[in-house]
Amino acid sequence: MKLKAPERVTWTQSGFCPGCGHGIAFRLIAEVMEELGLSDKLLLTVDVACCSLAIECVKYDTIMCAHGRGVATAIGAKKVRPENPVCAYLGDGAAYSIGMAETIHTGLRNDNVVVITVNNSLYGMTGGQMAPTTLPGQKTTSSKYGKDPERCGMPFNIVDAYQGFKIGYLARGALCDVANINKAKSYIKKAFEKHMNGDGLCYVELLSACPTNLNMQPVKAMQRIKEEMVPYFPLGEFQDNTKEKKEEE
């Protein structure tokens, strides 16, 4: 067995914190691009905040977007270059708070883009504030005594939100152990395959660790994904629709 991360991600070093899930996510994306022969075609949008660090260490043509607008920007690029794979890479704050309108409407329109949302249950770059994905009782720098769902709502679940729409593909993986990381890669791969097939919005959420802002050792932060996050964010594939199926309806 030979294993070597693609040059697209190894050519330099990242600025991500030790134990951060972004590095794993980008290896998966890079491997998928290599396997599908799409490395030299991928157009990427990265949201501001931690995602944006990728622009310096991931070798794809990339747009650093305004907060929460990565999906809109990706749609613009995809419409102009429909033959290219186009992926919006963003965090849960971008996708489910400031960019909620963009997230919902891309589902409504079933735009032909790949969206990868990295859900770490908080705002990373700004220092660990509460997000719409923050778990009940979770202490953050803006929920000092634990998130009160009475006041702030329960963790936002994209699978529920997209239930009313038929999109190309919807899956949630977890970057929490070897098996789940491998499975997450298979979701990303399927998302890009379906994207290139023109099946519409291919959306993958990745549960990810943020040891820095959780004030946890990286191993603990990863264990927390399975123990604490997965109960609120079930894993698996939730939608898989093709163009043909949609046309029948």
Partner 1 sequence: MAKVLMKGNEALAEAALAAGCRFYAGYPITPQTEILEYLSWRMDEVGGVFIQAESELAGVNMVMGASAAGARALTTSAGPGFTLKQEGISYLAASDLPAVIVDVMRIGSGLGDIAQGQGDYWQLTRGGGHGDYRTIVLAPASVQENADLAALAFDLAEKYRHPVLIASDAAIGQMIEAVEIPEFREHDINKYDWSIKGCKDGDKHKKIQNVYYDDPNYETYLSDKYAQMEAEEQRYESIDVEDAEIVLVAYGVSSRMATEAVEMGREAGVKIGLIRPITLYPFPVNAFEEAKEAKAFMTVEMNILGQMVDDVKLATGGSKPVKKFGSIFALPESEDILASAKEFLDTVKEGK
Partner 2 sequence: MEFKETVYTDTDRCKGCGLCINFCPKQAITQSEHANAKGYNYVEVDDEKCIRCGACYRVCPDYVFEIR
Q: Which residues make up the interface to partner 2 (CB under 8 A)?
A: 1-5, 9-10, 13-14, 16-24, 27, 177-178, 181-182, 211, 217-219, 222
Spatial CA neighbour of 67 closest among 89, 87, 47, 46: 47
In whole angstroms, how close is the CB of 132 to partner 2 at the nearest point? 25
Distance CA 120, CA 132 (A): 11
Does 61 help bind partner 1 (rule: CB under 8 A)? yes
Closest approach, Cβ 70 to partner 1, in A, equals: 8
Among 36, 105, 139, 197, binds partner 1 (CB under 8 A): 105
Closest to 89 measured CA to CA, from 4, 178, 16: 16
- CB 2, min distance to partner 2, A: 5
* Contact string (CB under 8 A) for partner 1, positions 133-172, x = contact: ----------------------------------------
Q: In angstroms, what is the minimal distance from the CB of 13 to partner 2?
A: 6
How far apart (Å, rounded) are the C-alpha atoms in residues 32 and 187?
10
AA identity, residue 216: M
CB-nearer residue toward partner 2: 2 or 144: 2
Minimum CB separation from partner 2 for residue 35, in Å?
A: 15
Compute the C-alpha angle 54/59/64, nearest 5°: 45
User: Three-state SS for 244?
Assistant: helix
Provide the H-helix boundaries in 122-228. Answer: 149-152, 158-161, 178-196, 211-214, 218-224
| Residue 94 lies near partner 1 (rule: CB under 8 A) | no
